[in-house]
Amino acid sequence: MAVSHLQCKECKAQYPLEAVYVCETCFGPLEVVYDHSRTSGDVGELRRRIQGGPQNIWRYADFLPLAGGPPGPSGRLASRVGLPAGCTPLIRADRLAERLGLREVWVKNDAANPTHSFKDRVVSVAVTRARELGFETIACASTGNLANSVAAHGAALGLDSYVFIPSNLEEQKILATGVYGAKVVAVEGNYDDVNRLCTELCAERDWAFVNINLRPYYAEGSKTLAFEIAEQLGWELPDRCVVPVASGSLFTKIARGFEEWRELGLLEGELPSMNGAQAQGCSPVASAFADGQDVCRPVKPDTIAKSLAIGNPADGPYALDLARRTGGGVDAVTDDEIRAGIKLLAETTGVFTETAGGVTTAVLAKLAARGDIDPDERVVLVITGEGLKTLDAVRGTFETHTIAPTVDAFEAGVPQTVSV
Ligand SMILES: *Cc1c(COP(=O)(O)O)cnc(C)c1O
Ligand SMILES: [Zn+2]
């Protein structure tokens, strides 16, 4: 088992591997520390062991914070886990690249997870750790996708689940949560109100709030996106990643995943330039980046990208530091640009993403138009969620041709491409 202890990101105080998340001394966030002295060794052998693992995130068990260690040959660990997340497609997107004047663009389609967003990665890890720690109830403060995933994992593992969401969430996301039998609590307020309430409840109840008291473990799940991208590129790093930013956890942990594998010799070369993507209606990190600030000023969210609507991002300062030290950035796009981003991705790749993916695609288009991307770069666009969950974003953006069932009506009513 490579996991060693928890450590404060600020003052480096050490804590045991329990359900704790904030430093008692300086109130900094806690993070998992590993001891890879037994993991390291022959790179070829390490790669072969990963490649021989299960077709889900547990192939990276050596780099995840579980007491159980790597999975056995019979998939023993897999049976502890319930819903397999990860191993989603990395698609070469030549038509998108051409539209943007770039050479090599890849789409990492994390909508292809059990509950159709990247949240299944973080929830799998948090819930598995919660079971190791003996919790019987799981819970979360969610902007939507986390609710879907916690409810589904609760159902798969027979744990009680309570999900707290802002009451104005998209109907699709509420329905796709309640169906699993979770207790759905719609809070009259925005995500930051939901999070505050859950932090209070967390102090009073013996529940595993996946993104509060289990947050150090939860966050580690996002590293698996980096591992997969590198493995799917043939053990190579991309030159640039464009990633959506809500709390900033996904953004910073993708980079951490690349770094960890570089330290072990599994990857070589420089860390990719990391570009964060936010909606203008909730862009505390992009604003701080533009203003040259080290910390974010909290905002009240107002955007169609509800899954990214966190006005007070916990990992904001770390996201800013990462963007600056990798030569990346953090940009914001308007709701109209988000809708156009969804359409651009759908029409050039066949991937239909939710509003968060519209944000990411629109930021990529903006970077390309601004000339920030060298045409020879290998760029990975991280698509984190499914278009069917935010259908309102595309309503009215195209025409349906309704006709009587006759050839005449078809010829009169439907414009046709003229073939020569
Ligand atoms: C939660 C979420 C994110 C990013 O979350 P972080 O809090 O920044 O880790 C990105 N995309 C989608 C679709 C999400 O649901
Ligand atoms: Zn501390």
Cα(241)–Cα(254) distance, integer angstroms:
9
Cα(266)–Cα(253) distance, integer angstroms:
17
Tell me which of 116, 145, 361 to substitute to probe ligand 1's pocket, judged by most ligand atoms within 8 Å of the beta carbon.
145
Per-residue pLDDT tens digits for 137-176: 999 999 999 999 999 999 999 999 999 999 999 899 999 9
CATH numbers and ranges of domains, the chain: 90-116+222-394 (3.40.50.1100), 120-220 (3.40.50.1100)
Angle between helices 43-51 and 223-232 (to 10 degrees): 100
Q: Residue 82 has what pLDDT?
A: 72
What mean pLDDT value characterizes the chain? 94
What ligand 1 atom has the least distance to the C-alpha of 219? 9
Per-residue pLDDT tens digits for 324-345: 999 999 999 999 999 999 999 9
**Cα 242 off chain centre by:** 12
398: helix, coil or strand? coil
Tell me which of 125, 215, 250 to substitute to probe ligand 1's pocket, judged by most ligand atoms within 8 Å of the beta carbon.
250
Give Dmax (Cα) for the chain: 78
Q: Provide the pairing of β-strand 329-333 with 273-279.
A: parallel
- Sequence-distant (≥ 6) Cβ neighbours of residue 138 within 8 angstroms: 126, 127, 130, 150, 153, 154, 159, 160, 161, 162, 207, 208, 209, 210
**Cα 301 off chain centre by:** 19
What ligand 1 atom has the least distance to the C-alpha of 313? 7
Residue 136 has φ and ψ, to the nearest 5°, of -115, -10
Per-residue pLDDT tens digits for 25-37: 999 999 999 998 8
Are 230 and 237 a contacting pair, CB within 8 Å? Answer: yes
Q: Residue 228: in which H helix or E strand, if any? A: helix 223-232
What ligand 1 atom has the least distance to the C-alpha of 310? 7
The predicted model scores a pTM of 0.95
Per-residue pLDDT tens digits for 61-115: 999 998 865 444 444 454 456 799 999 999 999 999 999 999 999 999 999 999 9
DSSP class of residue 169 equals -
Per-residue pLDDT tens digits for 265-302: 999 999 999 999 999 999 999 999 999 999 999 999 99
Q: Residue 75 has what pLDDT?
A: 44
Cα(329)–Cα(274) distance, integer angstroms:
7
The torsion defined by the Cα of 67, 69, 75 and 80, in degrees rounded to 10, comes to 10
CA of residue 86 to ligand 1 center, whole Å: 15
What residue ranges line ligand 1, CB within 6 angstroms?
A: 117, 119, 145, 244-251, 307-308, 354, 356, 384-385
40, pLDDT greater than 80: no
